[in-house]
């Protein structure tokens, strides 16, 4: 199913489809949609800023709200919502003011909803990846990567499956007493 996470109509249609196709409401949601529109502040357009906020932050809000409504209405007692942030949301990064703001917002949003939804048995956590081998990081220039890699104590980029394992843990009963947490998967980049 395709969905425009920045559109409440598209998200509503997604959950309507889920309701029709499955007999049980979702109990696990992972918000992983994300985009970049990099530019230095003095060159960044309002559209570049808005595009990133719309997908990375508003999209997380819209999907989470729809999922939480379904979980609460259907009395899902062991729900898990995992939001993907970024280490850039903690540290900032030149040329990524919009991205950093969106991912920092995801952390604040996650902590707030963790407080709200805990009484319903819904856990909410965030994962903060560092430099991971993805199409998004493949566009980082070589000269930039040669400066970044020495700052990572593990001296390498992370693998998508390493992030996935942390997400899997947060979605599993093994993390039944974990909520409002932000787990960094950075190879030690910001310690």
pLDDT digits (tens, 9 = 90+) for 16-57: 999 999 988 899 999 999 999 999 999 999 999 999 999 999
Give 1 or 59, the one with higher predicted confidence: 59
Name the strand (E) or helix (H) holding 128. strand 122-129
Q: What would the mean pLDDT of 156-169 be, rounded to a whole number?
A: 98
Domain boundaries, the chain: 28-56+78-185
User: Residue 139 — pLDDT band, cuts 50, 70, 90?
Assistant: confident
Structure tokens at 59: 């999209």
User: Residue 71 — pLDDT band, cuts 50, 70, 90?
Assistant: very high
pLDDT of residue 191: 85
Question: Which residue do the tokens 């906020």 mark?
Answer: 53
pLDDT of residue 1: 80
Give 33 or 145, the one with higher predicted confidence: 33
Give the 3-state secondary structure of residue 52.
helix
pLDDT of residue 140: 80
Alpha carbon distance, N-terminus to C-terminus of the chain: 39
Active site residue 99: yes
pLDDT of residue 52: 99
- Nearest residue to 179 (alpha-carbon basis) of 135, 128, 100, 122: 122
Structure tokens at 87: 């280490």
User: Residue 138 — pLDDT band, cuts 50, 70, 90?
Assistant: confident
Of 49, 61, 99, 109, the catalytic one is 99
- Homologous superfamily assigned to 28-56+78-185: NAD(P)-binding Rossmann-like Domain (3.40.50.720)
User: Residue 65 — pLDDT band, cuts 50, 70, 90?
Assistant: very high
DSSP state, residue 19: H
Percent of the chain with pLDDT strictly greater than 70: 100
> Across the chain, what does the average pLDDT equal?
96
pLDDT of residue 62: 99
* Whole-number Å distance between alpha carbons of 187 and 191: 9
């Amino acid at each position: 199913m395709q969905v425009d996470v920045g559109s409440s109509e598209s998200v509503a249609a997604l959950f309507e489809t889920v309701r029709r196709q499955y007999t049980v409401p979702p109990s696990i949601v992972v918000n992983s949609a994300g985009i970049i529109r990099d530019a230095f502040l003095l060159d960044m357009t309002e559209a570049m800023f808005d595009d990133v906020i719309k997908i990375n932050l508003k999209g997380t809000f819209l999907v989470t709200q729809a999922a939480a409504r379904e979980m609460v209405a259907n009395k899902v007692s062991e729900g898990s919502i995992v939001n993907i942030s970024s280490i850039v949301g903690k540290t900032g990064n030149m040329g990524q003011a919009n991205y950093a703001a969106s991912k920092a917002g995801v952390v604040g949003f996650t902590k707030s909803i963790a407080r709200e939804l805990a009484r319903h048995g819904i856990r909410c956590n965030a994962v903060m990846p560092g430099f991971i081998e993805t199409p998004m990081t493949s566009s980082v220039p070589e000269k930039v990567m040669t400066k970044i890699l020495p700052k990572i104590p593990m001296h390498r980029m992370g693998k998508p499956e390493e992030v996935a394992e942390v997400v899997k843990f947060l979605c599993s009963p093994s993390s039944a007493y974990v909520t409002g947490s932000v787990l960094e998967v950075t190879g030690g980049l910001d310690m």
